Structure 1
């Protein structure tokens, strides 16, 4: 019989019957099978051989032979078997017995691969309702498994592993951690998120940090899922010279997000003192297209960030900004606070508090054509020192108006015209070398024509 005819006969046989039963019992239709060769045995078993494929929803199965018992509705499958469930789950097996929906059954000599990262090899896998996979005598690793049979760098062996596809969790019974084939420690119970889960409460990868000042220390981060839109990570950092608790808090809102990173320390560098730092950022969308952004950077002492490797900054800046950008207008208002960590700088003599604003508008007058641009900038910075000259405080107002026009002639001459003026006004205090008030007006000269 022609292969194309066999394929269509099998599709017709395995879809019409289950659809009729499903309409009567209210169950979903069974799988659809396609193969190169089909024949029916005396006990009413339909056998498909050669390039066999079965489909059920997002599940796709490929095998050498599939036998379908029309009485029991069971599928007996001979491998090699490949079952893919979406993009994140792949099952390889030598043989299997499954129901028509491919949701329940038994697979022998199987491997479960999650998100192309984690491999679970087991003697057999029991599938239950398409949600649970129970693996027996299992070896789990994310290392590459060599074809020559050598053990991977690390693996977790367990008597039983249950994969909950819905909750995206792995549950281990009688687990032991091995490096190569050497057992390191034993865990009677263990729960881990599978690689497809982005966020789950639990321990993260530990790390070891060694410095000349703090010695060798150990960090063990613990991630806490506080909800669908916020989380907290606590990381104890312990060594012979320090006892530190690091933290990171994140939260997403309907119109924005925030994140704070920091640490609290008691160490031998400054006995009896509390050390720490706090960095934070946030962004929120406001009404009428305005955007609010803020940043916080502060530390207990100038050496703390470098001692603990949190940042290489020698100047910290905190700010809050409200801005709006549209096609023909831009507006921004900002407040900054700067703090120097340099030994050669004195914060009282630096402009640590800064106010800054900007407004720009474009107009297209129909009477004269071209483009009219207007801009106003305001700036003020203040030093906390009251000393003359080194405690100078300055405020500045800058304005600019210009008109631009381009004309193209038939002979290819392009003329760009530009005219305008700008002004500046200054207010300077606590500096006897300058007058307190100063202003100027500067005209803008027209641009020459250019041939293009």
Structure 2
């Protein structure tokens, strides 16, 4: 026997050696029953090492020092490897590392394998797999004192453990945050399934749960038929229960999930969801239903579904891409009652939540070009709170928008823009809102210095008494606007932007004048019935003259006067046409220089008007930015569109209803890109009284500090002609603080500072008491204090590469609208063990009466 390395060294060759060996032929019995393998034609075992020892007597090759053996896609590395050509077995010792074809890594102290590395025994086994799940990299780890590989498709671990947690770098012997220990773990690579026998879940080395047997897909599996992680439920109206989803992998591109939920108070909630992905998009359908055993757990009608036995929903979503410019789809929600989705905690992304809830069903077709945009939709709004009357909700179909921009003809240059809109909606019942009465109407008693407004009843519509926020019947409008603008900058730096537009509107109104509530409106409202047209031409000029000065380290300072003049005829048919999409009118710094300050197409601004203002800005080399804007709008001639209210009084008390508007301003400071302070306000033109004020800060200090926060204060003066008898004032704030890279706390709060003025919840009782005994001992209204937490949430949690745990308390402002007998105060516990599953536990807390005092908790 002679060392091959010695021969090569004598020839002056490099120390790293490579030897290609043919695999052993035939099948024979090796030590401990290991079979040899039959070599495929052309297959070779490639051996690399610092030193190779070839033993002709024993027909073995030994590799020492940085030994590497390659067979196909697999690589075996060790300090020392001995290959027995006769039996086709490989013996590896010392820092053994086997890399699989899929990138998985198996390590151990000693391995005895066949020469294709598929079958054998491993001592002190460690297996690491790396996969991508939901856009993040997840690493899983198996370990065992001894394991057996069979055919490269199955590995059996004796007294093994499994975890997705990284070992502690400073103390590797410390148990991971969580792991599963079992007498036997079998990982089948062919079925991608992991089987656990006599297993225990340990958290920080402490056993917390025992399972005699369970199986789970391995981390490489994205879809597989079987049970998903159960979810636990606990609440007063539902009782305690558990959901056990069962996933059915019908095909690579569609599947079915069946989710029975057994509830101790209500029985069996059944859910089924079908998902289908196609070449051009996807769609899904979800059905939910339950025959309740205890309907009385919910509030009675009209505040809840306390009289219903069967309740359910159907939901569907679809997205399809016709080509790279066009797409279509739908979002649909249908429910037996408005409280079902919330009562049974069925999540739906089409549900919008603020103080009230609604589900928006829509179907759409959207196209987008380089300088054009098209959108066609249909809407169905389902009110999901106790305050909604479905007959007042419109069905909108269709809504068509088109926007196209092109370069102007060479004779005039600039940009030409075409905008078009068609909207048609139908409503069964007219939606009224009564305006607050003053002392001149009836009486306005005062308690603790606070006057008590009474709201008028809209028995007959009259301007100044009622608002019509939605008219019954069918309203169809087609609008088209063609506009042009071009900017010129002279040698002095002055910027002139002349513009012109022509707006055409056609209304087809068919109001419903009979039936409950509908017959109250038409006589006084004088709605135009049938066809009505409107034309609004506009010409104008926008002028800006920025003065720029560079003060070096103090930054670049810019002072820019701005003037705008718009010439057009007066708006026609004010108050004689429905207003559905232009009721939201906010006059502030963002709308000061808008050509048309109305928010929608149903109204159009008319008359000759000038918008005047100036802004001052500073930008420093260090990144400091400051901006100040101040201005007003003046009606020069014609009818002021904002002075004459329509059916919804839009324009009145907006700050634009007088010839000279209120002043509006903005102040913004950003010391850097992570912090922004901003304030905006509207001041009364005559006495500079603050009519509207908003101020707040947003900050994100990372990576310098683990804190992000936002806080805003808002104040809006009373607008009785719009239905707001009192001023509105409140604070909203939210923050997240990362205590460590893994631990965090977060919270948010909405504080109503005018709740003590709000008498909606006690109006009936208070009025009855006052009329019965106006000077008796029963107070008309009890002052609950200035600060009222309308909504809040706070909590915290832990998150790392393998675990997420969070606990949150949520106090929602929609408590009186959800149809249950207790306030919506919820504690939510969420635990996720990555690659194993997650569990959510919700628990309603508190048994106080609802804030409307209607029913108490059981």
TM-score of Structure 1 vs Structure 2, range by shorter chain? 0.7 to 0.9
Residue of structure 2 in register with 1:308 after alignment = 344
| Aligned equivalents of 1:439, 1:127: Cα separation in 2 | 82
Residue of structure 2 in register with 1:167 after alignment = 191
Residue in structure 2 matching 1:37, options 48, 51, 60? 51
1:78 aligns with 2:78: no
User: In 1, are the aligned partners of 2:24 and 2:88 still within 8 Å (CA)?
Assistant: no
Residue of structure 2 in register with 1:91 after alignment = 106
1:139 aligns with 2:148: no
| Aligned equivalents of 1:349, 1:168: Cα separation in 2 | 55
| Aligned equivalents of 1:57, 1:408: Cα separation in 2 | 71
Residue of structure 1 in register with 2:500 after alignment = 419
Residue of structure 1 in register with 2:360 after alignment = 317
| Aligned equivalents of 1:134, 1:19: Cα separation in 2 | 24
Classify 1:239/1:117 alpha carbon distance in 2 versus 1 (closer, same or farther; 3 Å): farther
1:384 aligns with 2:408: no
User: In 2, are the aligned partners of 1:88 and 1:196 still within 8 Å (CA)?
Assistant: no
1:208 aligns with 2:232: yes
Classify 1:134/1:341 alpha carbon distance in 2 versus 1 (closer, same or farther; 3 Å): closer
Residue of structure 1 in register with 2:221 after alignment = 197
The offset of 1:19, in angstroms, is 9.6
1:245 aligns with 2:276: no
User: In 2, are the aligned partners of 1:31 and 1:102 still within 8 Å (CA)?
Assistant: no
Kindly indicate which of the two structures has a greater share of residues assigned to strand.
Answer: 1
The offset of 1:450, in angstroms, is 5.5
Q: Which moved more, 1:297-306 or 1:202-211?
A: 297-306
1:328 aligns with 2:371: yes
Equivalent residue runs for 1:18-167 within 5 Å: 18=22, 26-27=40-41, 29-41=43-55, 43-85=58-100, 89-115=104-130, 117-130=139-152, 132-142=153-163, 144=165, 147-148=172-173, 155=180, 157-159=182-184, 161=186, 163-167=187-191
| Aligned equivalents of 1:128, 1:185: Cα separation in 2 | 26
Aligned-residue RMSD, C-alpha: 3.5
User: In 2, are the aligned partners of 1:80 and 1:94 still within 8 Å (CA)?
Assistant: yes
User: In 1, are the aligned partners of 2:23 and 2:85 still within 8 Å (CA)?
Assistant: no
User: In 2, are the aligned partners of 1:6 and 1:38 still within 8 Å (CA)?
Assistant: no
Residue in structure 2 matching 1:5, options 3, 11, 14? 14
The DSSP-based 3-state class of the residue aligned with 2:342 is helix
TM-score normalized by the length of structure 1: 0.84
Unmatched runs of 5 consecutive residues or more in structure 1: none
| Aligned equivalents of 1:379, 1:44: Cα separation in 2 | 88
Residue of structure 2 in register with 1:226 after alignment = 250
The offset of 1:273, in angstroms, is 1.7
| Aligned equivalents of 2:159, 2:282: Cα separation in 1 | 42
| Aligned equivalents of 2:86, 2:387: Cα separation in 1 | 89
The offset of 1:6, in angstroms, is 2.1
| Aligned equivalents of 1:76, 1:100: Cα separation in 2 | 9
Residue of structure 2 in register with 1:292 after alignment = 328
The offset of 1:345, in angstroms, is 2.6
Equivalent pairs, count: 439
User: In 1, are the aligned partners of 2:289 and 2:311 still within 8 Å (CA)?
Assistant: yes
Classify 1:28/1:415 alpha carbon distance in 2 versus 1 (closer, same or farther; 3 Å): farther
Unmatched runs of 5 consecutive residues or more in structure 2: 1-5, 26-37, 131-137, 296-305, 432-460, 462-467, 512-520, 549-858
1:352 aligns with 2:395: yes
1:10-54 residue CA offsets vs partner (Å, 9 max, x unmatched)? 22x23xx44999xx9743533434333333446453322223333
The offset of 1:151, in angstroms, is 9.4
| Aligned equivalents of 1:300, 1:114: Cα separation in 2 | 47
Residue of structure 2 in register with 1:184 after alignment = 210
User: In 2, are the aligned partners of 1:81 and 1:94 still within 8 Å (CA)?
Assistant: yes
Equivalent residue runs for 1:238-277 within 5 Å: 238-242=262-266, 243-267=268-292, 268-269=294-295, 270=306, 273-277=309-313
Equivalent residue runs for 1:362-381 within 5 Å: 362-365=405-408, 367-368=410-411, 369-381=413-425
TM-score normalized by the length of structure 2: 0.46
The offset of 1:421, in angstroms, is 2.3
1:334-356 residue CA offsets vs partner (Å, 9 max, x unmatched)? 11111112322322123233420
The offset of 1:239, in angstroms, is 2.1
The offset of 1:182, in angstroms, is 8.3
1:402 aligns with 2:483: yes
The DSSP-based 3-state class of the residue aligned with 2:394 is coil
The offset of 1:78, in angstroms, is 0.2
| Aligned equivalents of 1:209, 1:244: Cα separation in 2 | 12
Classify 1:307/1:413 alpha carbon distance in 2 versus 1 (closer, same or farther; 3 Å): same
User: In 2, are the aligned partners of 1:416 and 1:450 still within 8 Å (CA)?
Assistant: no
| Aligned equivalents of 1:450, 1:33: Cα separation in 2 | 79
The offset of 1:251, in angstroms, is 0.8
User: In 1, are the aligned partners of 2:418 and 2:483 still within 8 Å (CA)?
Assistant: yes
User: In 1, are the aligned partners of 2:23 and 2:115 still within 8 Å (CA)?
Assistant: no
1:102-150 residue CA offsets vs partner (Å, 9 max, x unmatched)? 33333233233344554333444333443x1231424243265785576
| Aligned equivalents of 1:150, 1:286: Cα separation in 2 | 53
1:61-91 residue CA offsets vs partner (Å, 9 max, x unmatched)? 3321112334444321002212222565221
